[in-house]
Structure 1
Amino acid sequence: MTVARESTQEARIPIADGREVRRSIRPMIGADLPALVRASLILVVATGIGLLGPIVLGRIIDLTTSGRADLLLPHAVAFFAVVLVGAGLTGVGQVKLSQVGEVILERLRNGLLGQALSVPLTRLERAGVGDLVSRMTSDINSLTRVIRNALPECALAALEIGLLFIGLLLISPWFALALLVGMVPVVLGGRWYLRHAPPRYDEERRRVGTLMGRVQEFATGWRTVRAYGFREEANASVQAGADGIYDAVMAATRARNALRPAVIAGQTLALIGTLMIGTVLVEDGSLTLGLVTAAALYQLRLIKPVSVLLELMDDLQSASASYRRVLGVRSVARAPRPAEACPKDASLDIRSLNFRFHEQDPRVLSDIDLSVAPGEHLAVVGPSGAGKTTLGKLIAGMEVPTSGSLLLGGTALDALGDSLPQQVVMLTQEAHVFSGTLAEDLRLARPDADDPALWRVLEQVGAAAWVRALPAELDEPVGSGHRRLTPVQEQQIALARLLLLDPKVVVLDEAIAAMGPSVASRMESRLDAALRGRTVIAITHRLDAAARADRIAVIVDGRLRELGRHDELIGSDGLYARLWARHESVSG
């Protein structure tokens, strides 16, 4: 796989910009656009009917002043009918809009989960798990709150403002002009708010993600924190994160509070202008008192939707920041890639392989040239930090080389697309058992595996005996909230999943290091038999395990220093021979 590694100036998961947000809206709505249009039309009709109320009320005033009391009852009935029908249609429209919102929310959640699972592991490690977790929890919760509550109210408020303006324009263009004059301070204040508020909300969400990452790290490693007396430092770090969130929230609040006086000034200015214009128009006979009353009621009615938009602006900006953070996951998630070619066998061919994490960093691996035959068992040894694990990640496709080529069966790893995880599997000593039955956990590797296939792999890894001793055997619930397995049992389940997956190449990175010497020795014998015929790259510090391999590669300071069979290497005066001599003296 010949590549030019993409430069990463920032390890943090990015935040989508405005263009990405606009591009995402149509696919997010998808097939629900007709339902969204229907709900919007219902709200438009409901708001239009509601605007008839002030007109009818103004007509009642005109009838009263003109002495036409005989027509008051029909107009009063019409007024109450307008109020009831408008309220009923408004409720129906909001329900319909909320139903569409729930469908969109479900699509958003499912999409984010798929994207989160497609984020490259190494990118996730550098960015911090807390950032991704906060996007899947607090950011999604923020969006849920807005889509369920704030968005329908904002849509209704925006419709009401637009139709009220049309109503004022129909009564008299002068009233619409008064409204436009009153909107000047609102627009100026809104422009300032929209320029200064979004970065502050972005910073608030980012700090929430940072704090969640810290809390998760300290919770996971709490025993270590307590053992080494780091509790005060941990508490101080969490407190600093919480203080940072408070500062960001206050900065966003100050931006919102700066908008409020502009809105109040605009509303007051528009209402004063309407009353002054109405007085003049009534005196010269251009309008009746009833129509001026209706215009004044329209102006007063504007206070509620404008106030709603103001009160919900905080939620809208927070949701906007959350949505851009959710979309940002998409930019680092691996897009589905079909396989372009199929490897002819399980051989590995590595040529001039170099790797560094960042452009300014020194190389972790330098000029690695290595060929592994199909079915060969290669042990990789060397001091800590030599680059052994990084080599394993490159072979498994979890990292991308800075330069050089890496071929599986004559095919570049890049050309394997999404089939690569089924072709090459890397197993570390960190095993995880998922919540569910033991059979469900095993079938994560192969959903169509029947019970006899499960028992076969359990027998191969030495787990069949203790599984048969469980009350429900394969149907026993395990994982969080259920039966807790020992670290050895968890690793056996992980190894059984590997055998079910049946990959061409297996990378074992200290996969049985957590087991005791006697258990590890028995497991190695079982693995040797179970993995026979597959290409195995075993990264290990145990020289007695390395000695059983077909060949041994010695990595020192990121370079391949020695390569050969055990008997060849101990016959030289190289590093492996010295390490073996030390091993023999300790064992003896």
Structure 2
Amino acid sequence: MNTHLPVADGRAVRKYVGTLARRHPTMLYGALALHVSAALAGLAAPRLLGGLVESVEQGTTAHHVDTIVALLAGFLVVQTVLTRFARYLSQVLGEQVLAELREDFVDNTLALPVGVVEDAGSGDLLTRTSRDVDQLGWSVRMALPEWTIAVITAVVTFVAALSVGWWVAIPCLLGAPPLVIGLRWYLKRAKDGYLRESATYSQINATLTETVEGARTVEALGLGPRRIAASDDDIAASYRAERYTLYLRTVFFPSMETSYLIPTVLTLLVGGYLYTQGEVSLGAVTTATLYVQMLIDPVDRIVSILDELQLGAASLARLLGVAQVPDDREVSGREPDGEHLEAEDVRFSYVEGRDVLHGVDLDIGVGERIAMVGPSGAGKSTLGRLLAGIHPPRTGSVTVGGVGLVELPLDDLRGHVALVTQEHHVFVGTLRENLVLARPGSSDDEVRAALDAVDALDWVDALDDGLDTEVGSGGRAVTAAQAQQLALARLVLADPHTLVLDEATSLIDPRAARHLERSLAAVLEGRTVIAIAHRLFSAHDADRVAVVEDGRIAELGSHDELVAAGGSYAALWDSWHGRG
């Protein structure tokens, strides 16, 4: 069963938000100043209307009324202009923050140990890169700026209401308990509810992805009903999670709506009583009531948007959790002395207590070509990954030039050892952009030479736009064999000393693969090559053959030596040629 990637706690989320805020102090404080100014401009209306009521009560003129109306219009215009620029600056700041957060997330995702990604599965990471990023984008662009405006408006309005008289605090304070109780009840439950909801989306994606990727196996083994049942279980769990968060909202929001009415009603009652006692004027009661009424809108937005912010906070916690995955390598700072690759007493397990490699020893000479063969599931690919520094061994060591592969920074490691598997990816962009990823700044001549080395130059030149052809999603489709050739061409450009080829030519037809490997031989001259293959012609051409069985190297020697020995390799060779 897949395990989920970690989720950051509240402290880590607050620390990261603080870091982002400190990166943009000018824009942040500028936006806050504009919001405060807009809120202050909005406070003029109740004061002016309260004064107008009082002047009407005492007798006034049409000119005075016209003056008040003109002032109201003026303050409205000022508030509108300030609000416009405040929102603009807030959204610009939000876009910059979101861009930085996405960049941090991509960096953290690319730094994930491959073993962790494989263990977690694609569903969890896919949900974080899609739904969580989208939800956080909405929160940063819209919810957070609106919530900030609402908080500032509420604080400024409340202070203005208190300036009318101390008695205004009474209805406001009496209206606070239901609001606080409701908020505490909701916030205590909301984060866990939304995290559980997001986790169910990850599980749905994981199940669907596994079903689609293994569609042929599902069909061949008649597993369709079982996979459908698994999807139904995932959807049912998601339904329960969403029903719970819906329950929180249906209890919380109606109770909040009721609590909003209490301060307004109490202001009228208390103010009316004080007015009858002659302690406050009618204008003061009018002003106070309008201020308290004005509080309803920002407080309502604070509460309503808080729900969206809870979703955003849950998404941010999931995105930040990717950075909390412990690294599987400890950089020592030591420099390798040469390119000699050696595995000594290597043991490895994907699941604790169940080793898939059992005390493997393999000494590979510089410039030597090793072929690893054996039955499926014997551990060939696992050993290849350890020799490429993808996984650290559970015990034992894998070294290059006397330094452990997991002691080298990734950039340095790839200059020594690189892995090419039958899994490949064509990125969105031009063919040239896909290739120079391996070595930025490569010239067209170098790119074409790399393509020629892997027999891909002819079909690339046949394209209308050549190296400028757009490929990947939405671009020109390339075949599986062509995609593999592109991956191998990247290797030629990267120019590592040691290559681990994990059935790298398995999707090309045998004649093409044979020709491709011969073409690569000239490019790989003088390099160390470890080829994991199920076609034994690769083993025939190797300097030595390592036969892997049950997580151990059962036989090691040249092709002729192993055939003459009459062991496992000889049996495989006879079977390959249809003998025996």
TM-score (norm 2): 0.93
Give yes or no for contact 2:328–2:406 (8 Å, CA) kept in 1.
no
Measured in 1, the distance between the counterparts of 2:466 and 2:76 equals: 65
Corresponding position of 2:529: 536
Give yes or no for contact 2:158–2:295 (8 Å, CA) kept in 1.
no
2:44 alignment partner, one of 42, 49, 52: 52
Corresponding position of 2:58: 66
Equivalent residue of 1:400, what SS?
coil
Which deviates further from its counterpart, 376-385 or 461-470?
A: 461-470
Q: Output one character per residue of 1:299-356: Cα deviation in whole Å (capped at 9) or x when no partner.
A: 2122211221232232111111111111112223869998823322221121221111
CA-based RMSD: 2.5
2:267 alignment partner, one of 246, 254, 274: 274
Measured in 2, the distance between the counterparts of 1:322 and 1:518 equals: 50
Alignment partner of 1:385 is 2:377: yes
Corresponding position of 1:415: 407
Measured in 1, the distance between the counterparts of 2:261 and 2:36 equals: 27
Q: Describe how 1:307-456 pairs up with structure 2 within 5 A.
A: 307-332=300-325, 340-359=333-352, 361-418=353-410, 419-456=412-449
Equivalent residue of 1:571, what SS?
helix
Measured in 2, the distance between the counterparts of 1:134 and 1:549 equals: 44
Distance 1:168 1:495, change over 3 A: same
Corresponding position of 1:39: 31
What is the deviation of 1:77? 2.5
Distance 1:458 1:87, change over 3 A: closer
What is the deviation of 1:116? 2.1
Corresponding position of 2:115: 122
Count of equivalent residues = 578
Equivalent residue of 1:561, what SS?
strand
Give yes or no for contact 1:116–1:333 (8 Å, CA) kept in 2.
no
Which deviates further from its counterpart, 27-36 or 188-197?
A: 27-36
Equivalent residue of 2:423, what SS?
coil
What is the deviation of 1:244? 3.3
Corresponding position of 1:4: none
Give yes or no for contact 1:47–1:86 (8 Å, CA) kept in 2.
yes
Q: Describe how 1:64-463 pairs up with structure 2 within 5 A.
A: 64-69=56-61, 71-222=64-215, 225=218, 233-332=226-325, 340-359=333-352, 361-418=353-410, 419-463=412-456
Distance 1:111 1:336, change over 3 A: farther
Measured in 2, the distance between the counterparts of 1:31 and 1:377 equals: 52
What is the deviation of 1:415? 2.8
Structure 2 segments unaligned to the other structure (5+ residues): none
What is the deviation of 1:221? 4.6
Measured in 1, the distance between the counterparts of 2:426 and 2:86 equals: 46
Structure 1 segments unaligned to the other structure (5+ residues): 1-8
Which deviates further from its counterpart, 75-84 or 292-301?
A: 75-84
What is the deviation of 1:58? 0.8
Distance 1:543 1:335, change over 3 A: closer
Q: Output one character per residue of 1:428-457: Cα deviation in whole Å (capped at 9) or x when no partner.
A: 122333333322222221222222222322
Give yes or no for contact 2:435–2:489 (8 Å, CA) kept in 1.
yes
Distance 1:151 1:415, change over 3 A: same
Q: Describe how 1:452-531 pairs up with structure 2 within 5 A.
A: 452-531=445-524
Which deviates further from its counterpart, 73-82 or 410-419?
A: 73-82
TM-score (norm 1): 0.92
Measured in 2, the distance between the counterparts of 1:180 and 1:336 equals: 57
Which deviates further from its counterpart, 154-163 or 234-243?
A: 234-243
Extract structure 1 runs of 4+ deviating beyond 6 A. 335-339
Measured in 2, the distance between the counterparts of 1:454 and 1:429 equals: 22
Measured in 1, the distance between the counterparts of 2:522 and 2:185 equals: 70
Corresponding position of 1:16: 8
Measured in 2, the distance between the counterparts of 1:487 and 1:168 equals: 70
Which deviates further from its counterpart, 190-199 or 102-111?
A: 102-111
Distance 1:221 1:16, change over 3 A: same
Equivalent residue of 1:364, what SS?
strand
What is the deviation of 1:57? 0.8
Equivalent residue of 1:547, what SS?
helix
Which deviates further from its counterpart, 103-112 or 260-269?
A: 260-269
Measured in 2, the distance between the counterparts of 1:253 and 1:247 equals: 10
What is the deviation of 1:30? 4.4
Distance 1:252 1:71, change over 3 A: same
Corresponding position of 1:3: none
Corresponding position of 1:5: none
